[in-house]
Each structure stands twice: as structure tokens, then as C-alpha cells.
Structure 1
Amino acid sequence: MARGTVTAAAGTLAALTLLAGSATGLPRGTTEPWTPPAGAVRLVSFDSCADALARLRAAATESVSPWGLAPEAIDLLGGPVPAMGDVRKSRAGAPGGEAAQADHSTTNNHEPDADEPDLVKTDGRRIVTVTGGVLRVAAPATRRITGRLDLAAGDDPTLPTDWPAASLLLHGDRALVLVRSAPRIPVVGGKRPADNGEPGPRLLLVDLAGPPTLVGTYRIDGSLLDARLTGATARVVVRSHPRLTFPYRQDATDEERLAANRAVIAAADLDAWLPAYEWTEGDRREAGRVGCDRLSATADSTGSAVLTVLSFDLTTGRLGDGDPVSVAADADTVYGTARSLYLAGSRHPAGRPWRTGWVPTAGPAATAIYQFDTAAPGRPRYLAAGAVPGTLVNQYALSEWQGRLRVATTSGDAFGPPPASESAVYVLTRRDGTLARTGSVTGLGRGERIHSVRFLGPTGYVVTFRQTDPLYSLDLTDPAAPRVTGELKITGYSAYLHPVGEGRLLGVGQEADERGRTQGLQVSLFDVADPAQPARLARYHVPKAASTVEFDPHAFLYDARTGLVALPVDNALRLLRVTGSSVGEVGRVAHQGGAPVTRSLLVGGVLWTVSDTGLRASDPAGAEQLAWLPAS
């Protein structure tokens, strides 16, 4: 572990948070959302590794309970903006005499030029998937499998053969496979590197220039939070918790358990908090641990979590050590643009116990947000941080536009006595290292919670729900005075919103009866051309059904040229056609054996669908099968 003095030099990942102030929870039943304490946001650096350890021990000792450490975060369910996932035009040709790229769809990313990991990737001349620990490459032009790499293969039959779900990032001739927690590190260069058996995410670098070849691996303590690819740089965010083992005696009192837990913290060294990692390249294997010179902390850190950002240049053909930087803080949401990376996580009022008996407490919360500059390759550079009341529904509740950040949150208990909750949209502006609140609109959906958000340039759309679905349209042109311009109440709700042309918005979610009980999949086409009078033009309903799009927007496909919408429903793929004022089904795609269809993409006018059993090529006009490429 590196030893030395920690500095706040530019380029080092440093986290900020609100300075100490009054921060007490509101009494149960209070409807006013808790506001984070006022004050500046500042860097917190360490004078030495001993100082870092002392602060982490103190923070953990203060926040530990008789049952252990609680996570700091609670996981909860300018100019025209292009529609994500639309078909891109290909280049006229490809370098090196390679086959020209066909017109192809992209991953349904939140923002352009900030690619997100997914189960399948295409560049127009090849389709890359990974299922069951096997990476496959297909050529859409010839409709054949051209490459296969068994990532789980090994020379030790005693090792487990199960392989968790994985996702991909693709840049040029290299694919980065992200595995949340692989059972082992696979073979590289014909030899298996030592594996300490610790759980944690695995990153696998695969060369696709010829037959798929594994050229490097990476493992780090913790869990994979998310990743973004901007240019050739992949930035991977990992969350880890201190490796502390707390004793538990059934016959002990709470005071005795608390004292025992604090004794464990007092005896821990810095390695308990700093994540270890190892990486391989051919026969070479290197191991290390994030140094204390790469660690910063927030003023209110509880010592219960560490975030690490890794940066990999996919043009080099190697992973290296990932240039890791860490912060003693927590986050549950990652949002990225072409120039910025935001990490956001829930925060609860200081001094509020995280458990009452064995039941986690609810209560008011805020969201802390950290912004980093990712415009240049390499390690991200800290920019600013701030906080807003309430919690996020997902990354779509965040949006950067014209240098400002818009944030939609829900405060209070949506399931308590009405109106115990409400939602709001805040506008934050970066000033002297602080994401300062410059405007807000509050009081949305009292007694309800946010189910979906979409920001499109100067306009925002927020769906709240408890028994009915108010779709709010907002004018965010003036960052100091955002305002609600219209409201539409219908039964059910939209869990995902997608622009489908000028003045049109598509919502995918659930129909519900007047008491709020869900009744099956509902796809709604909204007319939002008049911000004062949003209206629903058409509706597609499948009783007792649901779509993975409701919680995973990567499963959504939209082709703006033809109006085609594809979304998995139960095990099959439903093909819908959106026109100016209607939405209706035009076909269905099912895979052999009834395997669930997880993804769809368009390459050269052909619809490709993905499942664990294989790839299918279909005519998008009527779903006629053109080819079947089995996985085995």
C-alpha cells in the first residue's frame, strides 16, 4: 500500500459533502421534506495514512450499531436532444479493407456519447454477445457466428462452472466484459493466474481483431455499481464495504454488542477499508491495493463504504492497474454525459439510528451528488458536489443541460397517510466547487412517488403515481424559476418515457384500476406539443403482462425512421408501430424453446433478437424469421 501525504491536487478523485450543521429527522407524519443542512461544500484530505485510518475508525465507530455498519446509501426502487437508441447512419467504409458498417441501432443510452454496458453490442459489421460465460461474435452480413470464446473454461475441474450475468462495452476491436461477481478469474495466455477466491467484479478484455482472444483480466474488492465509455476511456465505478467481522452473541445486551463492534473497528488497519485488486496480462500477474494517497473522504462519512473509480484506455490492448482513486462515501446511482460523470447516493439526517430493533427505519432523506470531469482521457477530475432533499428513482432523474444539473426526487413516505410524500425538480449550478441550488419546483404528486422522469433540453416530464398517473410537463428554460406548465391524470403509470418524434412521448408502464392496483402492460402515446395541455393519443394494453423495459431501459428499441418500437413482453418480443396519433402491434418474435428474449437491435434493416439460446434475424415489418444462430 502506498504511503504518503494526501493532497487535493487536480486530477485526484476527491469527494465533497455538506459541512456540519443542524440535521435532525422530522417527526413521523411531517409532510415537509427534510432539507440538507446549509453550508459550503469542501474537500477533506488526509495529512498521512495514519490520519486517514484515524478518521475512518472514528467515523465507523460513531455510526456502528449493535448489529454492525449500515450502508450509507439505500437502493430504491442546448439544442435538439436526439432520441437514444435510434438507428445511426454508417460510415461509407471501414479502415483496413474491413467490411463497411451497416446502418445499426445503438444501446438505448441515457445520453449520447456516454455509452452504457449492455448484454449485446454492435458496430454494424459484427454483433457481440455474452451469455453463460461465453462470448460470441456474429456477422450480420452473412448471418453466421464467426467467433466464440468460453470465458468460464479452465484447466481445474474442481472450480465452479456457473457464470453470472455479464455486460459489454465495445470500442474498435476490443470488448470489455464486466462481470458483477465471477466465480474465478479465467485462463489468460494458457495459464490460470492465482485467484484468492474473494468475491468482487471481474473485468475481462477481449481482442476481436481475429478469433476472440482474452488478453487481460482485472478483479477488485467490492461490487460493480456501473460504468460509462466516453471516447476510448471506460470508467468503472465500484462500491466496497470495510472487511470487518463483527461478533454477535445472542445472550449479550445491545450495549455489550455495541462495545464489541467498536473494539473490532479500533483494531482494524487501513487495509480493511482500501480495496485490493489484481490484474493479468498474458503470463504477467500484478496485485495491489488502492493507496491512501488515492483516498479522500467526505466530512460526514460513516466509514461504511468506499467508492472507487477505475479508468481503462481501450486502445492500448491492456488493462493495467486501472489508475484507481477512491473516496470514503457511498452512491447508488451513476449518470454520465460526454463530459461529466455524476455519482449520487442517499443520505439520512445525522444522528438518526439506522435500525429500530430489527426493522430498518424509513424517514426523511437527501441525495448527495458528486460531479467529475471526464472530458479528457484518463482519471476523472473532481469538479463539485451538492445535495437536494429526497431520493432518486433511477439515473433518468438526473440531467445535465447547458452546464446545469436538473434533479427530480421524492421526499417522504409515499405509502404513509396522505399527503406524506411529494416530489420536486431542482436546478443546480456549479459555483466554486459547489452544486448550488438555483431554482426548484416542488409539491408534485403529493402522497405519491416518482415512477419515471425524462428531461429533453429545456423541458422535463415527471410521472408520479399512487392510484392515478399525473404526467407533469415542466418548463426549465429559466434555471432560477422552473415551473409546471401542464398536468395529465390517467389511470396507471409510465415507468419509462421515450421521445418518439416532434411533440410526441411514449410511456411504458402499467395500467391500474381506480384503487391503484396494476392491471398489466400499458404503452401510452402522449401529445406534448402544447406544454399546457398534454394529452394521451393512443394506448396499447396487454392484461396481466409486464415488460423488462419498466425497470431496464436497455431492453427498449425505437427506430425513428419507421416508427418501430420493440419491447420484451413476458418471454417474447412485441413489435409495435408508432404513427402520428396511434400505436399498435405489428408482430411478435419468439425464440426456440420459449427462452426469454432479452434484447433487440437493428443492423442493415434486419431485426436481431437475443436470448440465452441464440440469435435470431427477422424481418421487422412482419417478424418473419430470416435466420437462427443457436448459442450452442
Structure 2
Amino acid sequence: MLKKLVTFTFLALICWIPSFAADEIQIEIDGEPLVLDVVPQIENGRTLVPFKAILEALGLKIDWLGEQRIATAYNSEMNVSVKIDGAYGNINGELFRLDVPAKVVDGRTLVPLKFISEAFGNEVSWNAEKRLILIKSGFKPYVYTETLPTVDSIEKLKLILEYAGKYTNYISPVLDDFIMAPILEDKGNAADDLIAESAPAAESEHSETNVQVEGVDEADIIKTDGNLIYQLRAQDLKITDISTDEMKNIATIKFEDFTHASELYLYDSKLIVIGSSQMYYPMFEDFGFDIMPMPQYAPQTYIYFYDVSEPENPVLIRKYVGDGTYMTSRLTGGKLYMVWNKWLNNYNLTAENILPKFTDQLFFSGSDVVKASTINFDTLRYFPDTVESNMMITLGFNLDHITYAPHLAAYLGNSTNIYANLDTMIIAMDRYHYDVRAMGESFAPSFRNTTELYKFDLVDGTINFSAKGSVPGHVLNQFSMDAYKGDYRIATTSGETWSDTSQNNVYVLGSDMKIKGKLEGLAPGERIYSARFAEDRAYLVTFKQVDPFFVIDLKEPSKPEVLGYLKIPGFSDYLHPYDANTVIGFGRETIDTANGPILGGIKIAMFDVTDVTKPVEKSKIVLGSSNSWSEVLNNHKALLISKDKNLFALPVTLYSRVDNDIKFTFQGAYVYSISPTSGFVLRGTSTHLTQPEIDDSMLKWYDTSKNVSRVIWSGTNLYTLSNYGIKKHNLDDMMELEFLIY
């Protein structure tokens, strides 16, 4: 419930002001009479006062949005809005019902005096003899509700979006616009599982997906248990037995038409496939022949659960379908946590197309149990100070109890980047703060960027909001966030490189998501290209002309400091801590020219941070020329790396410059031995293309289904995978052993 900030004198004022004296009421602020061009009014026993006159006298800027009929007052800390004839007022994004609506009298907006007092906590009193309202300035900090408020209705949702400037695509001219969010709770189905849990397969030494946090799996297009490979392709999923001398494709799973499977998990004889469908339909059913119907995009996310205890005969045991676009997920301790986004169509904002719907089908012993659910307005919640015309949906599945209903939550907001460890998820949302300033007869919007951070506790398959924070700038990706010993560390870039206003920062937040330490102003004019936290250190790579590699000390969370840095050509898009004193960077080489640096080939660098004050680039490889590419540069899951095996491998597409011409030379995997003492040593390469296909590629397109996308190992063998097939090599000497073609 909204915390009341009014004083007893103000409460008494509501009763003391007589209605017959409305045209005689005067106002004083800090003892100074306020000149009014419209007198206060009494309506239904409540006093309405001039919005602009009072709040300008209190030092706030005023804006009037004529089309929306919204009056707004704001400063660096507060944003207060009221809509003419609207039932709710807005204080920093939180809506509360007004005793009487605001109204326009003689061209001026009048609002309930209670609205102003609640917004700023001003002391208000009434002098009955003089019929005088006395206001004492001095803002008290506004306190949000302890629990997130609900949207409640379509009418309130529209008003929330209007106040945020999100409903009519208008850039709100206020320093602080907002975002919102909803929460649903589902305790799950207490019924026993209808399938018997099978014994796990015999353990085998094998590679796993390269993830950010140990023990927190991330979805990918390939998974293995050491005996079987599960591989997603364009329209199907292949299950291949690699436990014997000869590889064998033992099953193929085909998916429904118009469904694209994108990622998968493998857990305890269960295969979870995540996909999506994209459907278009006219936004308005009734339209004339002279009006082109606007198509509406209605994406859905599909989750297929298979029992693969008998992998040659995978059985679909559950299908979960819901409105929205899949963003990301994590799997830890048998609990699958997911985040979706659902865009709200502002041109057809109705309850029917806003509220997401879900269908849960359970398939056991020939039966088909269908459960339908919908997120309703009374469970849809929003964060008071941040608003987007988008709905963020979170789901938690307990994979040890496959029939349990998921924990479902929805938030009026947006998820930009996500970090998760064993018990916490941090969802980051980009937020822009606009300030329209008059420049002659035109208005030029300027803005600053912050990242809003929302902390959720992950408990036994549930995802529960627990705290909110905010830091200047924006985060690059999930590796710009981290947790360690109860603190949260964030690396951001604020400002813009194109205007030379950018700078880079590291913030340390406590468990309450309040900033407790910061390091700001690194590498002015540059931006972060990669970041990685490792226990009490942070590693940053920024770039504009050269590649500064920063080593940052986080032993004292309240005082982060730079220990040392190294400036070298090129930059790293992904950093991987190899051991306590070695970091591997994957990125691009740069070549200095008279017009500035230009991109070169793929660069793999080894940074030695034994002397943290003087980091050293100990070893370096450059593959191909400027057109070369590796998926590792934007997807860490494409990297195979094993410290125990002194091994790393990555898929690459290489071009070379020959006599000023760019020539395609290779597509496949490069496999290296790695050692902090000897650096990188090439073990070998693997390609699914023939040499004639490579040679003829300049004259015609080659079969891109043969592009190697992942590299894994199991036992003494290494496998490279493409949509075309699987090639097996000896792990030690890279001798080709077998090529299975699908």
C-alpha cells in the first residue's frame, strides 16, 4: 500500500476548508504569497489547486502534453504527472487513485492538493481565519510500496503507458521515464510424476557447454552425455551414438510445421527442446477494400520435453506453448528457469491481445491432459519507476517432477541482458532518460542511459523478485555482470563514443542492490568490448584506437581500483579466465592506417597477469584476414575449452587477401594445445568441405550445411559437427577416424 507522507495538519485541512470560501482561498509557500491566475476550487469536499503555479514555485520544471492531456512536473529526482479527468495520478511511475480527478479551469490544470502533498511530503496547514493554505517546502524522499503494484485493468495499463510516453510513441520530455512489471505465483502440481525416473546413463568423460557460471547450464544447439550426441539442425534433431567404434545415427526428431527449434538441454534422461513459431494475421478484422490491413506479429514459444531413457525411441511427454518470444534460460539443480518477452501492440491495445496465454499438454500412457492458463491484470505487476510497452515473462520448471505446473510470472518491462548463478538471477534493462530542451523554434531531445537491475531469487523452481538497483551506463552482455561473496559487480559504458563522451565504469552493489563501491571514468572516448569477473578481479577490454586490457582489483568492494593495464593493437570480444594468472582473449586484430585502425583477422591472445601491475600479452595468433569470422566472437557457447586437457577449439570461416583480392580459404575447426608456459600450439584442423569445394567457392556458392558450428570431445576422441554430419578425430594427433554423413 502506498506509504502516506501527509501530516496531521494536512488531513485536518481536507475537512476544515469550507466550500463557500473556494473563490477566496489563497496560497502561501514559505511565507510568500503565491500569485495565482486561477483560484483553487472545492469539489466533493476536496481542494483542487493550480498544478503549474505551485510546482514551479517549488522548483520543478513543468510540461504539458496536449494530445494526451497530461501535466507533468519533474526535477532530477522526481517525476509527477496527472491526466485531466483521469482516475489515477502518477508519482515516479507508481499510480494511485485520486479522490477527485484533475480538471482544467480557465486554461489551467487544477489537481487535488493531497496529490501534491503525497508526492513531495510538503507540510501543509490551513489558516481558517484568513482562508489561507500554508505550504512549507522541503522534499521528503518518496517511498515506494514494499510490494510491486498490480496493473489491475486495461484502463489502468493504458494510463501507465501514457504517463511513461510509451502508448502513443511520444518521447516523454522528462528526465525520468519508467518501466514496469508483473508477478504470478504457481505452487505447482502436487501430484506424483506419472513416469518412472530412469537410472542415469553410465558416466563418461566428455566436454560440456562452455558456460559463465559453473553448475549453471546454458542451452545450446548440441549436448552430449559422452555416449550420445544430441544435435539440433534446421528442421530436426539428430541423436547419434558415439559409444562404439562406429558412429551411428539412432533417432531423428522432427518438429511441427512453422516451428523453429533453437536450443536444447539434456538432464537426467530428459531432453528439453526450446523453439518458436511466427504467425502473422490482420490487426483489424473489419476493414474496407480501400484500407490495407496492418499485419500483427504473434510469436509463440514452444518447449518440448522428451523422455530419452531409450534414446533410439525418444518419447514426447510434455509440450508447453505460450505467447511471447524466448530470450534466454538457465538450468541448475534440475530446475529450468526461462525468460520471455512479449511486445504490446499499442495500436490495438485490448485485453485479448495483451494478456499472454499458455497451453500445457501432458502425454502419458496414451492420455492427453491439456491445461490452459492466462496471466490476468490482477497478477500483472509493474516496477513503479520503469515502464516499457513490453511484457517480460519468467517461468520455472521442476524437471525432477515433470508434471508440476511451472512457476509463472509476468512483468511489464523488458529484459536486455541476464546473469544467473545457483540461487540468483539479475535481469538488466536499458533505460533512457529524455530531456527536451528548446533550441530556437525546434526541440532537440537529449538523453542519458542507465541500466536498471532487477534481482530475483531462484528457489526450488520459483523466480521471486527481491530487490532493485540502478547504475549509470549500459552493460554489454551477460559477462558484464557477476556475483561474488554476496556482492554484485557490473561493468558499464556511459556516454557515446561518437561524441567522445563515453567512459567506462565498474560498480559493486550489495545484496540490496545499492551501490557500495565504484570505479568510473576508465578509457574516456572508448567503450567496453569485453568484460569478465574472476573472484576478486575484473578484466576489461575497451577499444577505439588501441586495445587497453585493464586488470581491476575488487578485494575491497567499496574501493575498486585499477591494478594495471596493457595497450596493444586489436581488441577482444570474449575473455576467458584460464587459471589464476592467465586470461585468453578472442577478438579481432587491427591494422593501423593513415585513416585510423581497420579490422584484421581473428585474434586469439594470451594475457599473463602474474604481475597485475604489468599485464603481458604472452602469446598471440591471427587467423585469416578482415572478412574472417568465428561464432565465438559473439557466442561463448561455440568455444570448446578444457584446462584439464590443455585444449581449446573454435569454428572459423577464414578468408585471405591475395593480390588485393579476398579469397575464401577455409571453413571448419582449429584445434590448439594451450599452456601458460608455451602458449598456443596448433594440434590440427577439421573441415567438412572438400578441397575442390573450397577452390570453386569463388565461382559458386558451396554447401553451407557443411559449415562446422560446434566442437566437442568424449574420451579420447574429438568431434566436429555441422548440419551435414559428424567427423571424428583422435584427440591427441587430430588424425581423422570417421565421417558420419546424415
Q: Report SS of the residue matched to 2:644.
A: coil
- Give per-residue Cα distances to partners, 1:98-140, cap 9 Å, x unaligned: 7522111111110011111111112223221121232222222
Q: CA deviation at 1:351?
A: 5.5
**Deviation string, structure 1 residues 588-608 (Cα, Å, up to 9, x no partner):** 111255611111111112112
2:248 aligns to what?
A: 145
Written as runs of structure 1 = structure 2, the 5 A alignment for 1:204-353 is 204-210=304-310, 211-244=313-346, 246=347, 265=349, 268-269=350-351, 271-282=352-363, 283-318=368-403, 321-349=405-433
Q: Where does the alignment leave 5 or more consecutive residues of structure 2 unmatched?
A: 3-73, 80-140, 180-196, 281-295, 438-443, 654-666, 690-702
Aligned to 2:224: 122
User: For residues 394-427 of structure 1, what are the alpha-carbon distances to aligned partners after superposition, in whole Å with 9 as ceiling and x for unaligned?
Assistant: 00000000000000000011122x3x10100000
Q: Which position in structure 2 is the counterpart of 1:526?
A: 607
Aligned partner (choices 439, 464, 472) of residue 517 of structure 2: 439
Alpha carbons of 1:489 and 1:362: their partners in 2 closer, same or farther (altered >3 Å)? Answer: farther
Counterpart contact for 2:358–2:374, Cα < 8 Å = yes
The structure-2 alpha-carbon separation of the partners of 1:622 and 1:286, relative to structure 1 and needing over 3 Å to count, comes to: same
Q: Which one is further off, 548-557 or 172-181?
A: 172-181
Residue 290 (structure 1) shift: 1.3
Please say if 1:586 is aligned against 2:664: no
- Of 142, 158, 177, the residue aligned with 1:57 is 158
Change (3 A) 1:338 1:24: same
Partner of residue 471 from structure 1, selected from 532, 540, 549: 549
Aligned match for 1:510, one of 588, 591, 605: 588
Mark the CA change 1:111 to 1:332 in structure 2 (over 3 Å): closer, same or farther: same
Q: Bigger shift: 407-416 or 287-296? A: 287-296
Letter in 1 for 2:306: V
Superposition misfits of 4+ residues, deviation over 4 angstroms: 38-44, 65-73, 95-99, 350-353
Residues 259-287 of structure 1 show CA distances to partners (whole Å, capped at 9, x for unaligned) of xxxxx65xx33x44321121222323332
Residues 527-556 of structure 1 show CA distances to partners (whole Å, capped at 9, x for unaligned) of 011110101011100132221111000011
1: distance between equivalents of 2:203 and 2:211?
Answer: 20
Task: Confirm whether residue 386 of structure 1 aligns to residue 469 of structure 2.
Answer: yes
Contact map agreement 2:388 2:414 (CA 8 A) in 1: no
Higher fraction of strand: 2
Are positions 1:411 and 2:494 aligned together? yes
Contact 2:324 2:356 in 1 (8 A): yes
| Structure 2 CA distance for aligned equivalents of residues 180 and 496 of structure 1 | 28
Deviation at 1:625, TM superposition (A): 1.9
Query: What amino acid is aligned across from residue 616 of structure 1 in structure 2?
Result: K
Q: Distance in 2 between matches of 1:302 and 1:97?
A: 47
**Which of the numbers 167, 175, 185 marks the counterpart of 2:271?**
175
Match in the other structure for 1:34: none
Higher gyration radius (CA)? 2
Amino acid at match of 1:114: V
Residue 55 of structure 1: CA displacement? 3.4
- Residue 507 to residue 46, structure 1, CA distance change in 2 (3 Å): closer
Distance 2:251 2:333 in 1: 26
Q: 2:449 — aligned with what?
A: 365
Report what 2:650 is aligned to. Answer: 567
Check whether the contact 1:423–1:446 (CA below 8 A) recurs between aligned residues. Answer: yes
1:598 partner letter? S
Match of 1:451 in 2: 529
The residue identity in structure 1 corresponding to 2:253 is D
**Residues 547 and 568 in structure 1, CA contact (< 8 A), matched pair in contact too:** yes
The residue type equivalent to 2:76 in the other structure is S
Length-normalised TM-score, structure 2: 0.67
- 8 Å CA contact 1:221, 1:240 repeated in 2: yes
**Contact conserved, 2:150 with 2:380, CA < 8 A, in 1?**
no
Q: Contact (CA 8 Å) 1:59, 1:301: kept in 2 or not?
A: no
1:183 CA drift (Å)? 7.2
Unmatched runs of 5 consecutive residues or more in structure 1: 7-19, 26-37, 74-94, 154-158, 185-195, 247-263, 354-359
Cα pair distance change 1:197/1:543, threshold 3 Å: closer
* Equivalent residue for 1:107, pick from 197, 200, 209: 209
Give distance in 2, aligned partners of 1:102 and 1:22.
Answer: 59
Measured after TM superposition, the shift of residue 500 of structure 1 is 2.1
How far apart in 1 are the matches of 2:634 and 2:307? Answer: 32
Q: Distance in 2 between matches of 1:606 and 1:41?
A: 58
Aligned-residue offset at 1:40:
6.3
Query: After superposition, where does 1:59-98 map in structure 2 within 5 Å?
Result: 59-62=160-163, 63-64=165-166, 67=169
The answer to whether residue 584 in structure 2 is matched with residue 542 in structure 1 is no
Indicate the larger mover: 554-563 or 196-205: 196-205
- 2-side partners of 1:223 and 1:72: how far apart? 22
In structure 2, the CA distance between the partners of 1:97 and 1:111, relative to structure 1 (3 Å rule), is closer
Residue 98 of structure 2 is matched in structure 1 by: none
* 2:76 maps to which of 7, 12, 22: 22
Q: Which amino acid aligns with 2:685?
A: R
SS in 1 for 2:300: coil
Q: Determine which of 587, 601, 606 is the counterpart of 2:712.
A: 601
Residues 560, 458 of structure 1: alpha-carbon distance in 2 compared, 3 angstrom cutoff: same
Contact in 2 for aligned 1:473/1:486 (Cα 8 Å):
yes
**Separation in structure 2 between the aligned mates of residue 164 and residue 47 of structure 1, nearest angstrom:** 34
Written as runs of structure 1 = structure 2, the 5 A alignment for 1:41-56 is 43=146, 45-46=148-149, 49-50=152-153, 53-56=154-157
Distance 1:47 1:399 in 2: 30
Using the TM superposition, name which of 450-459 and 536-545 deviates more.
536-545
* Distance change >3 Å, CA 445–CA 173, structure 1 → 2: same
**Matched residues, number:** 528
Residue-by-residue CA offset, 1:489-521 (whole Å, 9 max, x unaligned): 000001111122341111000001232311111
Preserved CA contact (<8 Å) 1:23 1:350: no
Contact 1:512 1:518 in 2 (8 A): yes
Equivalent position of 1:28 in the other structure = none
Equivalent AA in structure 1 for residue 730 of structure 2: D
Given that residues 207 and 214 in structure 1 are in contact (C-alpha distance below 8 angstroms), is that contact kept between their aligned partners in structure 2?
A: yes
Deviation at 1:621, TM superposition (A): 2.6
1:140-198 deviations in whole A, cap 9, x for unaligned? 21243354243325xxxxx55xx5351111110111111143679xxxxxxxxxxx994
Residue 178 of structure 1 aligns to which amino acid in structure 2? Answer: I
Tell me: CA distance 1:97–1:429, structure 2 relative to 1, closer, same or farther (3 Å).
closer
User: In structure 2, how many angstroms separate the alpha carbons of the residues matched to 1:130 and 1:69?
Assistant: 42
Contact 2:407 2:463 in 1 (8 A): no
CA contact (8 A) 2:208 2:223 kept: yes
Structure 1 residues 526 and 135 mapped into 2: Cα distance closer, same or farther (>3 Å)? Answer: same
Structure 1 pair 502–134 and aligned structure 2 pair: CA distance change class (3 A): same
Match of 2:735 in 1: 624
Contact 1:540–1:584 (8 Å) recurs in 2: no
In 2, Cα distance between the equivalents of 1:589 and 1:525?
Answer: 23
2:301 is matched with which residue: 189, 201, 209?
A: 201
Residues 150 and 536 from structure 1, CA distance in 2 versus in 1: closer, same or farther, beyond 3 angstroms? same
